[in-house]
A and B are shown apart, each in its own frame.
Chain A
Amino acid sequence: AQSVTQPDIHITVSEGASLELRCNYSYGATPYLFWYVQSPGQGLQLLLKYFSGDTLVQGIKGFEAEFKRSQSSFNLRKPSVHWSDAAEYFCAVLRNSGGSNYKLTFGKGTLLTVNP
């Protein structure tokens, strides 16, 4: 079965510290991978995506993620966290559901708290 796992439900970091949010996927074919952020009371915003090519992808707001096929992982990183990064982060996999149809499956999310 295809699935997306975010092992960390809640992470707390200090402002200025580095951040890594973990994401593992289970999918038989080449995945299309995404990270979304959802601030309190807000909609979803795409941070970055991986379709193919360079396995280190750069996103908005200083985020990056690295696709590691051998580990079935797509971890999100940021070298220095800002207080405004406090939000819920979702990893997602776009998978082919037959023919030209695709479905996006989300992980359960990781809540990031940033301490001053």
Chain B
Amino acid sequence: SAVISQKPSRDICQRGTSLTIQCQVDSQVTMMFWYRQQPGQSLTLIATANQGSEATYESGFVIDKFPISRPNLTFSTLTVSNMSPEDSSIYLCSAISGNTGELFFGEGSRLTVL
């Protein structure tokens, strides 16, 4: 099975700043995704991270707020820009294994914005 590492695992940030979350997969994957899980809520898909091109964003999410990079098959970053307390959430990276087709999740990055 694929192992997905995210960092930071948690952070406390000031309003108006930006934070970049990194996601590293230890094996070949086909698709990578970023999800947000707000307190007490389910997971909401932010975007699909596309290798070498702009991410595909879901309704309600825009590139200026959540820029995403995916320079190669196994690495992606999500930036939460100009943060406000409403951005306090767990952000999860996930990927579909190129070998098994299974979907795996990182343990998430817990972000608190003061």
Contact = CB atoms under 8 A, between A and B. Distances in A.
Interface of A: 34, 36, 42-44, 46, 49, 90, 94, 97, 100-109
The 4 closest A-B pairs by CB, nearest first: A43-B107, A44-B105, A106-B43, A108-B42
Given A43-B92, A44-B92, A104 B45 contact: yes
A43, A49, A106 pick with most chain B CB within 10 angstroms: A43
A101 B31 contact: yes
Interface in B33-47: 33, 41-45
Nearest to B96: A102
Contact of B106 (A36, A43, A46, A49): A43
Determine the interface band of chain B, counting residues with CB < 8 A from chain A: 20 to 34
Nearest to B50: A101
B74 to A, nearest CB: 18
Nearest to B107: A43
B26 interface: no
B103 A94 contact: yes
Contacts of B103: 34, 46, 94, 104
A42 B31 contact: no
Contacts of B94: 104
B42 A103 contact: no
Contacts of A105: 45
A42 B108 CA distance: 8
Given A94-B103, A102-B31, 5 more contacts: A90-B42, A100-B30, A101-B56, A104-B45, A104-B94
23 contacts: A34-B103, A42-B107, A43-B92, A43-B106, A43-B107, A43-B108, A44-B43, A44-B105, A46-B103, A46-B104, A49-B102, A90-B42, A94-B103, A101-B48, A102-B31, A103-B33, A104-B33, A104-B45, A104-B94, A106-B42, A107-B42, A108-B42, A109-B41
